[in-house]
Amino acid sequence: MSGIRVVEVGAFMAAPFATMQLADLGATVIKVENPQGGDQVRAIGPFTAGHSSPFARLNRNKRSIALDLKSEQGAAAFRRLVQDADVLVENLRPGAMRKLGLGYDDLRRLNPRLVYVSASGWGQDGPLAHLPGLDIMAQARGGLMSVTGMPDGDPVKVGVPIADLVCGLYGALGAVSALQARHTTGQGQHVDVSLLESAVSFAIWEAGKYFATGEVGRPLGSAHQSTAPYQAIRTADGWCTVGAVTPKTWQGLCAALGLPELLADERYADAHDRHGLRHELIPAIERVTAARTTADVVAALDAHGVPCAPISDYSQVFNDEHLGQRRFFWDAEHPEMGPVRQLGSAMRFSGTPTRRGPAGPLLGADTVEVLRECGLTEQEIDRLLAEGAAAQSPTPLESS
């Protein structure tokens, strides 16, 4: 993505996560923030040296410009910024950018090659479009909370903001695809991604079952929708997961755990049939695993080629030997926080590795430099700063 210029008008997760992907891939990302406090994530802790730890990770490899888009002068400077941009990513409520005179139809007249990505809770149109939408609402309406958790338990959301994050991934993929299409058409386009449709797009197994049989998915804890054993198994000191759903891995599990009687039982010969008998199969397996440590069970299953893994908490994940050897984690420099440990990109390229640059910028750190690049004179920049339509760091940041 080197040579691609991206403008972000984002807050919280979806748009910033989308542009983080593009920045990791080499794009120049300019984050446009309100001079009064900036992205709300700046005010969310924990804090290091007065700065938001989550913000420093979510906004790595980006530049920050502080502009008041509600002011005539700030909006005019924004148009200058977008005039030479390749991509704009925003996740304000539908219609908000249009009210500022900065919607897709407004900006494509200024820059016909602009790819304009809008991320929102429910999409840019439809009966829900005007409503606020956060990750948990998308997980709820999108069905995820209906299949997450234990049977007969309270509703449970996925532990991370999955709809927000995947909406960001779809936004990044949409931007890259629209840029590719631009090579043929010469024109940009509007890309509409939503948290709701991102959440519903996960329902591969549930859709397969419902559209084939009319059966509605329900919470199954950690169990698979149609095969077994494929779930968490109790051990003497915790839990591990196992996926013995092929004939070979089922044989391996029975050999690893010393359960020849299960292998000989014809009722368990097929993974689908085993799923229907989970209520007796899993206790039979756990009678063995509950007397052995997680490490012992995983080692035995590994030796027999059975897919398995311990259930790690994040202190274990962030110190995982495998991830360490693959150099997944890395430190990004911040002018006041010092080194900020980062989660690596999940994309690995043999020839064009992802960027490992600075941590999330100070609010307005690049305002003057970016405005100069847009062709504004020193007098115009000084006037923007004097009138409060723009700001530059150091700017006091909220810390509580």
The rounded distance, in Å, linking the Cα atoms of 19 and 58 is 9
DSSP 267-287: GGSSHHHHHHTHHHHHHHHHH
H helices of 142-246, in order, are: 144-147, 162-185, 195-200, 204-213
Question: How far is CA 217 from each of CA 22, 135, 151, 156, 203, rounded to the nearest angstrom?
Answer: 35, 21, 11, 15, 10
Single-letter residue type at 295: A
Name the residue among 140, 134, 128, 211 with its Cα closest to residue 165: 134
Give the Cβ contact number of residue 259 at 10 Å: 17
The rounded distance, in Å, linking the Cα atoms of 376 and 384 is 10
Residue 3 three-state SS: coil
The rounded distance, in Å, linking the Cα atoms of 104 and 111 is 10
User: Which of the residues 68, 164, 192, 366 is marked catalytic?
Assistant: 164
The rounded distance, in Å, linking the Cα atoms of 3 and 5 is 6
The rounded distance, in Å, linking the Cα atoms of 262 and 244 is 13
Tell me, yes or no, if 331 is annotated catalytic.
Answer: no
CA angle 120, 16, 112 (to 5 degrees): 70
CA angle 99, 103, 105 (to 5 degrees): 125
Residues in the chain: 400
E strands, 291-383, in order: 308-310, 330-334, 338-342
Name the residue among 167, 77, 79 with its Cα closest to residue 118: 167
Residue 169 three-state SS: helix
Cβ pair 242, 229 in contact under 8 A: yes
Cis check: omega of the bond before 229, within 30 degrees of 0: yes
Cis check: omega of the bond before 394, within 30 degrees of 0: yes
The four Cα atoms 8, 9, 15, 20 give a dihedral, to 10 degrees, of 30
Residues serving a catalytic function are 164
